[in-house]
Amino acid sequence: MTIVTNRAPERPDLRADRPTHRYQGSGIGRQILVLSGRSLRALRDPALVVPGVLEPILMLTVFSQVFKSLAQTSSFPAGVTYIDYLLPAFLVTSAVSAALKSGVALTTELNNGIVARFRSMPIRPASILIGRSIADTVLSGVNMLVMVVAGALVFGFDPAGGVLGAAGALLIAVMLSWSLGWVFMALSAVLRRPEAMQPIGGIVNLVLLFASNAFVPVDGLPGWLRAFAEVNPMSHAITAARELALGEAHLSSLLVPPAICVVIVLVAAPLAVRTFRRVR
């Protein structure tokens, strides 16, 4: 006698061979490399690159002519042309402007949905900020290099420190741009709006610029302004960059800007990552 049952025949479990882990994404190094490359593609768009290159050159043209007569004052260093005195300072001031652009760019991406798209992927928030920092630092370095070349070809920039001195001044400016970029990215994660970032950053840049030794020696400033200029971080960076360009570098001056940059990054970078993670 045959017994019939309704139970289906046993089949091997097809899910046994399926992977049980979820894809966690690439490593942080790969993420930073890809995100940096994405931001660096701005170099392909002349509409984004040309204004960033022309703006500091136009400002250098104006200031080098307007304040040229200051080279005749008694407090001005003897035997130094004004363009040799001014251009290293302009490298530093351009670094501050470039750092502000990092914050503005991040607020723009927070509002146009790109960051929200990144959050839907297995991408670490720190990778997004580090990639932005690296790309913006490279872009600012390219702009500053163009400024040095234009200064030499058009304005007669020929400092006593030669090529090595100019390269050292450029390096200090790039370090400052990289470190201040973290400050403005932290601020952008709090403000979250480009229209709020630009005026605040502009005020900070204006105060640091004109209350420094960028255009005239500190000795030629009024007492109250001189006191502020002597503690202004931008003044220390300008002094180091200028001494390198003019071939008069002192170890005590050269150590201050890197130390300031390291302190800024150690404070601002964790703060930027923490505030960025809380953005919804």
206-234 pLDDT, tens per residue? Answer: 888 888 888 888 877 888 888 888 888 88
Range of the domain at 165: 57-63+79-277
pLDDT in tens, 254-271: 999 999 999 999 999 999
What total of structural domains would you count in the chain? 1
Tens digit of pLDDT for each residue in 128-181?
899 999 999 998 898 899 889 988 998 889 999 999 999 999 999 999 999 999
3-state secondary structure of 124: coil
pTM above 0.85, yes or no: no
For the chain, the maximum distance between any two Cα atoms, rounded to a whole number of angstroms, is 123
Question: Would you say residue 226 lies in a domain?
Answer: yes
pLDDT tens-digit series, residues 161-175: 999 999 999 999 999
Say how far residue 91 (Cα) sits from the centre of its chain.
Answer: 12
Between the alpha carbon of residue 135 and those of residues 5, 28, 138, 147, 197, the distances in Å are 69, 16, 5, 19, 20
Q: Quote the tokens at residue 3.
A: 């017994």
Answer yes or no: is 5 within a domain.
no
Q: Is residue 140 part of a domain?
A: yes
Residue 211 phi/psi, 5° resolution? -100, 50
The reply to whether 183 falls in a domain is yes
Residue 192 burial (CB < 10 Å; 0-12/13-18/19+)?
Answer: middle
1 lies in some domain: no
* In a domain? residue 7: no
Question: Is the residue at 14 inside a domain?
Answer: no
Report which DSSP code applies to 77.
P
Do 197 and 103 form a contact (C-beta atoms < 8 A)?
yes
Q: Is residue 10 part of a domain?
A: no
What pLDDT does residue 14 have? 47
